[in-house]
Chains A and B, each alone.
Chain A
Amino acid sequence: MSMLSRLTGKRVEPGDVVGVIEEYQPGPGTYVDDGVIRASVMGVVVVNESSRVVEVRPHKSLRTPRRCTSALGVVTSVRHDLVVASLIGEVSLKPHPRFMGEYSGIFDGAIPIQLISEEYVKDIYEYYRVGDIVVAKIVSSSNPYTLSTKGPQYGVIYGLCSKCGGLLVSESNKTVKCQSCGSVEPRKASIIQPTRLPLSRLRYSIWRR
Chain B
Amino acid sequence: MTVKHAGLRLIDEKGLRHDGRRPDELRPVAMRVGVLSNADGSALFEIGKTKVLAAVYGPREPPQRHTMLPDRAVLRVRYHMAPFSTMDRKSPAPSRREIELSKVIREALEPVVIAELYPRTAIDVFVEVLQADGGTRTAGVTAASLALADAGIPMKGLVAGVAVGKVDGVIVLDVDELEDSAGEADLPIAAAPDIGLITLFQLNGVLSRQELEEAVEMGLSAIRRLVDMEKETLRSSVTVMPGE
Contacts and interface: CB of A to CB of B under 8 A. Distances in A.
Given A33-B195, A38-B195, A62 B241 contact: no
Interface of B: 40-41, 57-61, 68, 112, 114, 118-121, 149-158, 192, 194-195, 227, 230-231, 234-235, 238, 241-244
B61 A107 contact: yes
- Top 7 nearest A-B pairs (CB, nearest first) are A105-B60, A15-B157, A15-B194, A60-B152, A40-B154, A143-B120, A14-B155
Contacts, number: 105
B192 A11 contact: no
A59 B242 contact: yes
A89 interface: no
Given A13-B149, A15-B158, A15-B195, A40 B114 contact: yes
Interface stretch (A41-49, A67-75, A91-99): A41-49
B58 A40 contact: no
Contacts of A43: 241-242
A64 interface: yes
Contacts of A200: none
Nearest to B195: A33
Q: Specify which of A9, A15, A60 lies most central, judged by the most chain B CB atoms within 10 Å of its CB.
A: A15
Nearest to A102: B40
Interface residues of A, number: 31
Given A13-B149, A33-B156, A143 B241 contact: no
A106 interface: yes
Contacts of A105: 57-61, 121
A43 B153 CA distance: 12
